Homo-oligomer: A and B are copies of this chain.
Amino acid sequence: MSISNSIFLKACVREPVSRAPVWYMRQAGRYDADYREIRKQYSLVEICQRPQICADVTRMPVEKLGVDAAILFSDIMIPIGAMGLDFEIKENIGPVIETPIRSKEDVNRLRLFEPGQDLWYVLETIERLRHQLHVPLIGFTGAPFTLASYMIEGGPSREYIETKRLMYSQPDVWKMLMDKLGEMIILYGKAQVKAGAQALQLFDSWVGSLSPDAYETYVYPTMKHIFDELRPLGVPLILFGVTTGELLTQFQHAGASVIGVDWRVPIRRARERLGTKIALQGNLDPALLQAPWNVLEAETRKLLEEGLRHPGYIFNLGHGVRPSVDIQILKRLTEFVHTYSEEWLAQQLTSSAQ
C-alpha cells in the first residue's frame, strides 16, 4: 500500500475507506518484550536521542501489530528540556522537574529553541522513518496546558492545584507561558512535518481537569492560534485529552481536524455534539484489553458500528496501551478491527445499493 493511498490519512479527511484504520496511543511501549529489552540498555530519553533506535522503536508496532499508522516515539518532555528546563523521567512516577515554573522570571528564562539544532535527533528520526515506513507517520507533541502542568507542578499531578493557582492568580504570567509554549509547538510541529510527519497529534492529556469556561479563557486562544498556524501545513491535526467530554466542541472550534475521544464519551454522542464534518478517533476503554476476548470483541464490534456510520473514523483506544497488556491481544484486536470493519462497510454498500 502506498502512503498516498493510506486509509488512515483518508479517514482523517473523511474520505471513504474500505476498512477502519487502526493505531494505538502508546503503541510502542513496555507491553512489548523487545521494547523492554531495549530499555534495559537505554533510558526513554536516550532512545529519543538516538535516531536509529528511535526509528526502530517507532516501527516495531507497525511490523508486529499491523497498525495503519506509526506515531513518532518520543516523550512529552523532550521539547521542555530543549526550552532549558531540566527534567528527569523517574520509573513508575513520570517526569520530574527539580525547579518548576512559578514566576514571570521562570517563564522568561524559557527559550524558543531551534528544532533543527536543538532537537536534530527528533527530525533525523522522522527523516529516517519516512524512508522506512509504508504507513503514515504521526508527529507528536504535548499541548500547552498539559506541558505547563508538568512545568508548574514539577511532576505528574492528580489535581493540578499549582497549575490552576498560577493560572488564576497570575493570569499575565500564565498567558506568557501559554504563548511561549504555543510558539514552541508551532515551530516544533512545522519542523516535524517538514521532516516528513504526515499528521500531527497534540496531546492535551490533562486539560480535561478544566471546566469549559476555564478552558475558554485560559487555553482556547492559544489552541486556536496553534491550529491557525499549523493548518497551512495541510496535514491532519489530531487533538486528544482524557476527561475532555465537555471540551470537545471547543476542540473543534479551535481548529482540530481529528478529535481523539476519551472512552467515557460514546462515539455516537461525540457525533451528536460535533456533527459529521470532523473525523473522530478512539475510543475503546484500555482496560478492555485485559478483559476476556469475547467481551473485548463485542465491545469493539459495537464501537466500530458507531464509528463507521459516518466517514472519518479512526479506531484507537480512549487512552494509551498499558504495560500489562498482552501483545497477542493487541495483534488479534488489530486483525479483528480490519476484518470486521471491512465486512461491515461492504455490507453497508450492498444494502444501500439495493
A residues sitting closer than 8 Å to B (CB atoms) are 158-161, 164-165, 168-169, 208-214, 243, 245-246, 263-266, 269, 285-288, 290-292, 295, 299, 302, 322, 324
Q: A161-B322, A212-B266, A214-B285 are in contact. List 16 more A-B contacts (CB 8 A).
A: A160-B287, A161-B287, A161-B324, A164-B288, A165-B287, A165-B291, A168-B290, A168-B292, A208-B243, A208-B264, A211-B266, A213-B299, A213-B302, A243-B264, A245-B264, A246-B269
Q: Are A266 and B213 in contact (CB under 8 A)?
A: yes
* Identical copies of this chain, number: 2
A289 to chain B, nearest CB (A): 10
A214–B298 alpha-carbon span in the complex (Å): 12
A292 / chain B contacts, CB cutoff of 8 Å: 168-169
What CA separation (Å) do A45 and B156 show in the bound complex?
29
Q: How far is the CA of A21 from the CA of B74 in the complex (A)?
A: 50
Roughly how many angstroms separate A216 CA and B267 CA in the complex, as a whole number? 16
- Give Cα distance in the complex from A158 to B206, angstroms: 13
- Distance in angstroms between the alpha carbons of A295 and B167 in the assembled complex: 11
Query: Closest CB-CB distance, A4 to chain B, in whole Å?
Result: 36
Measured between beta carbons, the chain B residues less than 8 angstroms from A209 are 264
Chain B residue with Cβ nearest A242: B243
Check B164 against A287 for contact (C-beta < 8 Å): yes
In the complex, what residues of B have CB within 8 A of residue A263's CB? 211
Closest-by-CB residue of B relative to A296 is B168
**Interface contact B164-A290, CB-CB below 8 Å:** yes
A269 to chain B, nearest CB (A): 7
